[in-house]
Structure 1
Amino acid sequence: MMTGVENVEVVVAHRQRATLRVGDVFLKIDGNQAYTDVEVAAMERVPIPTPQVLWRKPPVLALAALPGKALGRLGEPSDASPAAWAAAGAAARKLHEQPLPPWPGRSAGQFAAELETECAWLIGNGVLPADLVTRNRRIAEAALRPWTPAFIHGDFQITHVFVDGDELTGVIDWSEASRGDALFDLATLTLGHEERLDDLLAGYGADADRDVIRAWWSLRSLLAIRWLTEHGFDPSAPGCEIDVLRARM
């Protein structure tokens, strides 16, 4: 029971789900309980810190807040130390070396089909110049190669990784965890923060293919723009997805 709480903070809210913070408790409300099933199952399997599940009463999942703060925010410089970024890389390596989860993820073929659809939409609706879309689509295709499946977070963005000083305190939002390309996670975390890629790989390992990570930056940005726009987010904000695409020009 939460007593003495005066404020309710809306962390994120859109048509699919909402997350509220009440004191030191996060309440996640999801209309599709399959995502919550994945989140809970993934957190039980991974070897890195995750929020404590306090209770679950569908459609609500209550999680304890993690100590520390997010590694950063998209569109803003990250003030986290190089060691904190390296700690995030080391955590990603531990995750990717875990046994695969029993549920599947998206294949390269599925990503290719989505890329075809979203690029046609971006050009056909005049959302972005055709040359910008075409250039980034060519870059993105390098990510669509055969990969060895790994246990991935699936939405390993900068606001989902928490640190306290140089130490990683946990990773949140596991609803998209699945089998997939390990480099997708690394690209998601460094999207819009490519200057921190060296710090991340210092903890993850230098064997990661940087060209494929760059390809995922383009692919993820191209796929995200329509969804972000339709759910009340602004992919054209400074440092966000459209700037990521422009940087490839």
Structure 2
Amino acid sequence: TIFLDEIGELTNSAQVKLLRILETKEFFRVGGTTPLISDFRLIAATNRDLKESVLNGKFRADLYFRIAGTSIYIPPLRERPKDIPVLAYKFMMELAQSKGVSFGGFSDDALSLMMAYHWPGNVRELKNFVEKALLLSEGRVIRARDISSYFEEHSEFGRSLPTKFDSSVPSQLIFDNLQKIWEELKAIKMKLSEIETEKKLSSGSETLNIEETEKKLITSALEKTKGNKVQAAKFLGFSTKTLYRKMKKYGLR
């Protein structure tokens, strides 16, 4: 499987080469003279409207119809604000573990600011923002006053972007779903607070042990899902295989 990101940015010459490879399954190594054959599956992504690009002559119609077998539309982040807290905590956990630093999470007012912002850079911008906030927080809970300057500096980028809402969805249903997410996030924050308190009492250190935090979160997720490992893995952002591996690592059942 080959994944090509931002396929809409390909030059015309690159589009011709890609189309030939897709049709013949043949390609040449750089500097090579012997054709090589490869049978592969192509997955491509773009933030452009390729149909419009075809009409404007910026994207080849034959290549478009060659790759447009199955299309999945993922709305921009500004159209799904309820995903922002979930993604932010997922990125925070991943970055904290990879960098070996502690994290205190986001306060409610900080999450409200994040959900009100348009995120013109979509998920990439959110991940970069979370990384910056994590490094500057030094393990503290990130509050609105800590991040408000970012949104003030970048507010002009997102103001002209349209936001679509599905009026057929009852407002009460939207509220209930948001409330459920808030409660889950608060539960995670409480767990983190308990762990941090225990660490301070036992060793006087303000640095959270990442593995202990992860173990606590996995235990909490399993409790919430009544032992359903598929749902627990989905809640934590893991694959089921990864969850089983981590459960074995921490001696969980």
TM-score (normalizing by structure 1): 0.28
TM-score (normalizing by structure 2): 0.28
Q: Which has the higher helix share?
A: 2
* Greater radius of gyration (CA): 2
Bigger RCO of structures 1 and 2 (CA < 8 A, at least 6 apart)? 1
